[in-house]
Amino acid sequence: MGVRFLLTLACVGVLSAGPAAQLPLEPLKDSGQGVTAAYEGWFRNPDGTFTLLIGYMNRNQKQALDIPIGPNNHIDPGGPDQGQPTHFLPRRQWGVFTINVPANFGERTVAWTLVANGKTTVVPMGLNPVYEVEPFKDAANNNTPPVLRFEQGGSPFQGPPRRIVATLGTTLPQPVTLTLYATDDGIVTPDRRPTQSPVSVVWSLFRGPGAVTFDDARPALDKATGKATTTATFSAPGEYVLRVQANDVSGEGGGGFQCCWTNVHVKVVVKER
């Protein structure tokens, strides 16, 4: 059973270099700061392999950053591209992607290097026993993450992202319609009574060659069906990956523990007119 605790943003082994090197707990600023990988832990898979669960901390309160895969955004060994984001929203983002490692991974590590605003951080990630987590069920109260579907009765997606779950398409300048259905087990703790919907969803850009504008990045869910619909408009042609995150009443990052939220990746292919 995993240990329930909040992993520090810097994690063990973060290196910082360049001008105005940051301390892990340096106060946030509106812009000009770096981005730090947040290694949130690992969990076991039924086939004997392991999955590393990873988020990030953009230390800017207002500045989103685009860092292409390459010298300033790489994961090694095995990289530079291991499915990490290239668009970084401000502040803390939880469990945005995963890396699968083999059953014999042992004491090896992979390291995510990020360079932003002249600041470099390197975070190693491995199978240290104290980093084992349970993202599919909170051991304290049996809470589980929300379930997302992209059509009524369709395949369910729950917990950390594993792969692209749907591919959509559009032609500039037409927007693409994003529809999902969200449900939840409704488990709450005494200190977290729902004040609105038991599930909230938010869409964001994960990777892509241009900007994305959502008609409503946080669409409301229909109380009867759990349906939520919005549109996304793209600034340039190419392949994009969008992330949709669903939170239950435990809130962002499960209130600091590694359960219970769901992240799903959707590809959108945007063609020239």
The two structure tokens encoding residue 26: 């340096």
What is the pLDDT averaged over residues 246-269?
83
Q: Fill in the DSSP letter of residue 174.
A: -
How far out from the chain centre does Cα 9 lie? Answer: 14
Range of the domain at 102: 15-131
The verdict on residue 1 lying in a domain is: no
129 Cβ contact partners less than 8 Å away, ≥ 6 residues apart: none
Task: State residue 186's pLDDT score.
Answer: 76
Same-domain pairing of 60 and 100: yes
Is 43 a domain residue?
Answer: yes
| CB-based burial, 69-84: b 16+ in 10 Å, e otherwise | beebbbbeeebbebbb
Residues 125 and 184 in one domain: no
In a domain, 3, yes or no: no
112 in Cβ contact with 84 (< 8 Å): yes
What's the structural domain count of the chain?
2
Are 179 and 263 in the same domain?
yes
Whether residues 155 and 255 share a domain: the answer is yes
Confidence of residue 241 (pLDDT cuts 50, 70, 90): very high
The model's pTM is 0.86
CA dist 44 and 39 (Å) reads 16
**What's the mean pLDDT in 196-217?**
92
Mark which of 98, 131, 164 sits at the end of a domain.
Answer: 131
Domain boundary (131, 164, 182) is at 131
